[in-house]
Chains A and B, each alone.
Chain A
Amino acid sequence: MDKFDVVIIGSGPGGYIAAIRAGQLGLKTTIVEKDKELGGTCLNIGCIPSKALLTSSDHFMFAKKEAQKHGIMIDNVHVDLTKMLQRKDKVVKTLTGGVRALMKTNKVTTFEGLGTITAPGKVSVQSSNGGKQEIETKNIVIATGSVPMELPFAKFDGKTIVSSTEALCFTEPPPKLLVIGAGAIGLELGSVWSRLGSEVTFLEFLPRIAVGFDLELSNQLQRALTAQGMTFHLEAKVTAIKIDNGRATATATKGNEELKFDADKVLVSVGRRAFSDGLGAEKIGVALDERKRVKIDNHFRTNVEGIYAIGDVVAGPMLAHKAEDEGIACVEIIAGKSGHVNYDVIPGIIYTNPELAGVGLTEEQAKEKGIDFRIGKFPFRANGRAIANEDVEGMVKFVADAKTDRILGAHILQHAASELIAEAASVMEFGGSSEDLGRTCHSHPTLSEAVKEAALAVEKRALHIVNR
């Protein structure tokens, strides 16, 4: 076999995007994937299937609660969960099939099996049917991603104590679902099952939900989700989970109080850890950090020549789009070009209803850094399109430098926040100011006008609210 220019281990969004870009650049590229399907966690058991279920369950809520406000009377609204899950699986299949097609178009070959780096430039692929192949390559990109973190005292059993993977395919809504950790994954899957009928309770160790997002908007989101029937216990430290007859009892301490929660299922969503099991990187001297993440320099190079790493397996936010951008930059650097990722402008989203989206600095972070900043806010209840949509929950908030007016952060809570945030990110990527955004023509009536209005509010000249 000919020597490859690049072998990418892992076909998640970081890996497969890197492979496409490597193919575009004319590098002889192959991708090694331990699972049957390409696409990694994101496509198979993460972002995509969760969005499929979030949308389906959101439509259900619309039919059940919102439609009548529009004069649409639907009788006997109910869920066929089997069908809903089938649709989700079909979505996943469409996309993983799409990735396979993209590999072909870009002349990227694939190896199915667990990739192990046996030496710099050498990867051994152990396939599930026992076959073993050795690949030689000039460069290796580690893109092995991450896996859900376990609680040491309550390991996943796949039935009662589950990770996000299982929570994507409960065959019926658990009557009582306990969610440990109120971050993006917990809030999204908690929302799905709450909408489909579960009684959902969150136990969060910190005094707030949605860590990393703007506090004011996170608190608003918590109020919205509470109104939807979910229960939150903040500053609650889970100390034990007992399983008895397929049901769980969790013990948590909150201050001096000891709380007990019984549940049919416990979703542990306390974070994810870098995954490099079986990769053999450590054996050949690739340095890992204290959290077992692969250490890289700002050119994605590990300490071993010719071995690079990107995505969840390295430091930084565990986000598909961060991995994608790193994958592109990494192979561009391998091809002798200048690849770059702007870590200051990476948006993050929680796909609840309303969705919470943020990019750049939160108000708290700006304060912490001692930056002299200004805030501009605009509520959707003053936006024409939101009112017409009967969907006025949430607001847009900008953090801008007080002197240069440069946008430092943008935060949106709204049903469509995930789409609205992109505008702010684009302006920020170009070093734009709130005035730049405020002076850009936005079509009327749209939700995006609220983004423009919040930008205008930075200089106290929003049009549809009283500027204070």
Chain B
Amino acid sequence: MSIEVKIPAVGESISSGVVSVWHKKSGDHVDAGDALFTLETDKVSTEIVAEKAGVLETLVPEGQEVKIGEVVATIDDSKAAPAKPAPAEKKTASASDETKKPAAPRERAAGAQALSPAVRRIVDEEHIDTASVGGMGKGGRLTKGDVLAAAENRGAKQTGDGESGAPPVKDQKDRQSAGDRFTRKRMSPLRRKIAAQLVMAQHTAAILTTFNECDMRAVQELRAKSQEAFTKKNGLKLGFMSFFIKAAIEGLRAVPTLNSRIEDEDFIENHFYDIGVAVGTERGLVVPVVRDADKKSFAGLERDIADYAAKAREGKLKIEDLQGGTFTISNGGVYGSLLSTPILNPPQSGILGMHKIMDRPMAVGGKIDIRPMMYLALSYDHRAVDGKEAVTFLIKVKECIEDPSKLPLDF
């Protein structure tokens, strides 16, 4: 029997995605659990695995937009190996075997030239390079819809280019990957979304960054002391992030304007604390949101973060997991960053950047002592937040971290 491979629901408000890469080809034998293809949506990307072993037959090409529930492949478990051609037609097949390999690209080029009348008009009028457009018609042929979409996408890109003053790439040769000098490939939907968000943040907010540093010794000692009991009680480790979330909430309480957003001519101050925690994944950065972080225990925060990290790795984050944060914490330290200027996650007004903990000689009580130090950065929207407030926030965070007894320790 053959089973259908359908696009699973990846989030409530996500209705479609793109089959970005097939990891297996039609005719391949797959085992249960083998990754079949990567599904990308504008928020998350995830690998879809085979539920059963059998011979795969793919039904959509790479790059095709697909709807949730759509059948994109079948797996036939009745065949152990790819089917062999029937004897009667084998002769003709073997006769052309030798010429088959070199002929394949030529056939494709010829196919690309055989354009339908409407496609031909649009290609001429819009100067579209047909080789760069994926065809959704029979046998991969270009349809009018394909080239209209290509023209539209390129139109959007060109106006963007124009604004930033970058010259549009005109040389057709330059558009393709040239040997090993460089590789050109289309950005994934997730990557494109991130790019658009970042540029939007830079364009709309007046972003400014203020710095400070904190001594991590107290937190490190407290963690070391409590780790065993905490792990035993909660079944997961006590990390640094929960301390910073709690410290940030103390900071936000002291400086409420930072827990806010600007909407047109209005200033909206939030009285709840939904804290986004940036998580790097293979496909890009995602920022799941810890809800009502002020009401959660340290263990509750650690559990939420661990759950989100696992979901992000498995590509199971839902869009609602990523929406509605009021403030964000980003930890570049996990990659070794000593200092950085984080970029706002619009429409939020502030983002706290954590960094690498490094032993540095510090002057403590008139003596030089080696302390585990971390630089802190706060990027903020100067439209909403004054410099004094931003500095106040960061000092509050620093104080809480250096003296955790200021935090509601509940483990």
A403–B117 touching, CB < 8 Å:
no
Interface 1/0 per residue, B71-112 and A, CB below 8 Å: 000101011000111111100000000000000000000000
Q: Which residues of B contact A405 (CB under 8 A)?
A: 118, 144-145, 148
Number of A residues with CB within 8 Å of any CB on chain B: 29
Q: Which residues of B contact A438 (CB under 8 A)?
A: 117-118
Tell me, yes or no, whether B178 is within 8 Å of chain A by CB: no
The A-contacting residues of B in range 43-60, CB under 8 angstroms, are 57
Q: Which residues of A contact B141 (CB under 8 A)?
A: 430-431
> Bound complex: CA of A431 vs CA of B149, how far in Å?
15
Tell me, yes or no, whether B138 is within 8 Å of chain A by CB: yes
Q: Which residues of A contact B84 (CB under 8 A)?
A: 336
Q: Provided the pairs A25-B88, A440-B117 are in contact, do residues A433 and B78 lie with their beta carbons within 8 angstroms?
A: no
Q: Provided the pairs A25-B89, A297-B2, A337-B85 are in contact, do residues A433 and B144 lie with their beta carbons within 8 angstroms?
A: yes
CB distance from A460 to the nearest CB of B (A): 15
CB distance from A405 to the nearest CB of B (A): 5
A435–B86 touching, CB < 8 Å:
no
A24–B121 touching, CB < 8 Å:
no
B4–A298 touching, CB < 8 Å:
yes
A406–B86 touching, CB < 8 Å:
no
B144–A335 touching, CB < 8 Å:
no
Closest A residue to B88 by beta carbon equals: A26
Q: Provided the pairs A431-B143, A432-B143 are in contact, do residues A26 and B87 lie with their beta carbons within 8 angstroms?
A: yes
Interface of chain B, helix or strand or loop or mixed?
Answer: mixed
Tell me, yes or no, whether A301 is within 8 Å of chain B by CB: yes
Interface 1/0 per residue, B127-152 and A, CB below 8 Å: 00000000011100101110011000
A299–B2 touching, CB < 8 Å:
yes
Tell me, yes or no, whether A365 is within 8 Å of chain B by CB: no
Tell me, yes or no, whether A338 is within 8 Å of chain B by CB: yes
A338–B57 touching, CB < 8 Å:
yes
Q: Provided the pairs A336-B84, A403-B145, A430-B141 are in contact, do residues A436 and B78 lie with their beta carbons within 8 angstroms?
A: no
B2–A435 touching, CB < 8 Å:
no
The B-contacting residues of A in range 83-120, CB under 8 angstroms, are none
Q: Provided the pairs A431-B138, A435-B117, A436-B119 are in contact, do residues A404 and B86 lie with their beta carbons within 8 angstroms?
A: no
Q: Which residues of A contact B148 (CB under 8 A)?
A: 403-405
Interface of chain A, helix or strand or loop or mixed?
Answer: loop
Q: Which residues of A contact B145 (CB under 8 A)?
A: 401, 403-406, 431, 433
> Bound complex: CA of A375 vs CA of B2, how far in Å?
39
Tell me, yes or no, whether A282 is within 8 Å of chain B by CB: no
B88–A435 touching, CB < 8 Å:
no
- Contact among B57, B74, B85, B118 for A336, CB-based, below 8 A: B85
> Bound complex: CA of A230 vs CA of B329, how far in Å?
78
CB distance from B140 to the nearest CB of A (A): 10
Interface 1/0 per residue, A436-468 and B, CB below 8 Å: 101110000000000000000000000000000
Closest B residue to A404 by beta carbon equals: B145
CB distance from B156 to the nearest CB of A (A): 15
Tell me, yes or no, whether A429 is within 8 Å of chain B by CB: yes
Closest A residue to B89 by beta carbon equals: A25
CB distance from A434 to the nearest CB of B (A): 8
Q: Which residues of A contact B1 (CB under 8 A)?
A: 297, 301, 303
B74–A298 touching, CB < 8 Å:
yes
CB distance from B15 to the nearest CB of A (A): 12
Tell me, yes or no, whether A216 is within 8 Å of chain B by CB: no
CB distance from B39 to the nearest CB of A (A): 21
Closest B residue to A24 by beta carbon equals: B88
B86–A433 touching, CB < 8 Å:
no
Q: Provided the pairs A298-B4, A432-B116, A436-B119 are in contact, do residues A25 and B86 lie with their beta carbons within 8 angstroms?
A: yes
> Bound complex: CA of A435 vs CA of B79, how far in Å?
43
Q: Which residues of A contact B57 (CB under 8 A)?
A: 338
Closest A residue to B145 by beta carbon equals: A404
A404–B89 touching, CB < 8 Å:
no
Q: Which residues of B contact A435 (CB under 8 A)?
A: 117-118, 121, 144
Q: Which residues of B contact A440 (CB under 8 A)?
A: 117
Tell me, yes or no, whether A357 is within 8 Å of chain B by CB: no
The A-contacting residues of B in range 315-329, CB under 8 angstroms, are none
> Bound complex: CA of A24 vs CA of B92, how far in Å?
13
> Bound complex: CA of A299 vs CA of B116, how far in Å?
31
Q: Which residues of A contact B83 (CB under 8 A)?
A: 336-337
Additional 12 contacts, C-beta under 8 A, given A336-B79, A336-B84, A431-B141: A25-B86, A25-B89, A299-B74, A301-B1, A404-B143, A405-B144, A406-B145, A430-B143, A432-B118, A432-B143, A433-B143, A440-B117
Q: Which 10 A-B pairs have the closest CB atoms?
A: A404-B145, A26-B88, A336-B83, A439-B117, A435-B118, A431-B137, A433-B144, A335-B86, A431-B143, A436-B116
A-B contact pairs, 15 of them (CB 8 A): A336-B86, A403-B145, A404-B143, A405-B148, A406-B143, A406-B145, A430-B116, A431-B138, A431-B143, A433-B143, A433-B144, A435-B118, A435-B121, A436-B116, A436-B118
Which residues from chain B sit less than 8 Å from chain A, CB to CB? Answer: 1-2, 4, 57, 74, 76, 78-79, 83-89, 116-119, 121, 136-138, 141, 143-145, 148-149
Which residues from chain A sit less than 8 Å from chain B, CB to CB? Answer: 24-27, 297-299, 301, 303, 305, 335-338, 401, 403-406, 429-433, 435-436, 438-440
